[in-house]
Amino acid sequence: MLWMSHFFPTEEWARVQRRRALRVLDEMWVDSPGYFCREPNLRSVKFAFTNYGVSIGLQALNMWPERLRQLNEFFSHYRSGDEYDRSAITHVMGCASLFPGDLIQPQSENN
């Protein structure tokens, strides 16, 4: 939703979604070692794929660059030991997190 909202920065639905998403994501942040947990009451549950998606949304809004740095550092070494470690889409999302390119509308057009 963060990523989608950046295409419509002045629309009310986008503003509401951004506020809600950022509030919940702030609750889900696990500062050390640096990832977003699966949901606020499951702090030890983490998925690289969803963290990479959150990263793209936050980059689209130019938010929390230090958290994004920590997130990418954490998942560059973390291995869950399950099928998600081998899933190609997880690695594609990791690349998109590091190099979002055309996924993100330039800020001059976004504001």
Q: What is the pLDDT of residue 107?
A: 64
d(CA 36, CA 34): 7
CA 60 to chain centre: 10
Q: What is the pLDDT of residue 97?
A: 94
Query: pTM higher than 0.85 for the full model?
Result: yes
For the chain, give the secondary structure using H, E and C.
Answer: CHHHHCCCCCCHHHHHHHHHHHHHHHHHEECCCCEECCCCCCCCCCCHHHHHHHHHHHHHHCCCHHHHHHHHHHHHHCCCCCHHHHCHHHHHHHHHHHCCHHHCCCHHHHC
- CB-CB contact of 69 with 111 (8 Å): no
- pLDDT per residue rounded down to tens, the chain (111 residues): 999 999 999 999 999 999 999 999 999 999 999 999 999 999 999 999 999 999 999 999 999 999 999 999 999 999 888 887 778 888 899 999 999 999 998 764 444
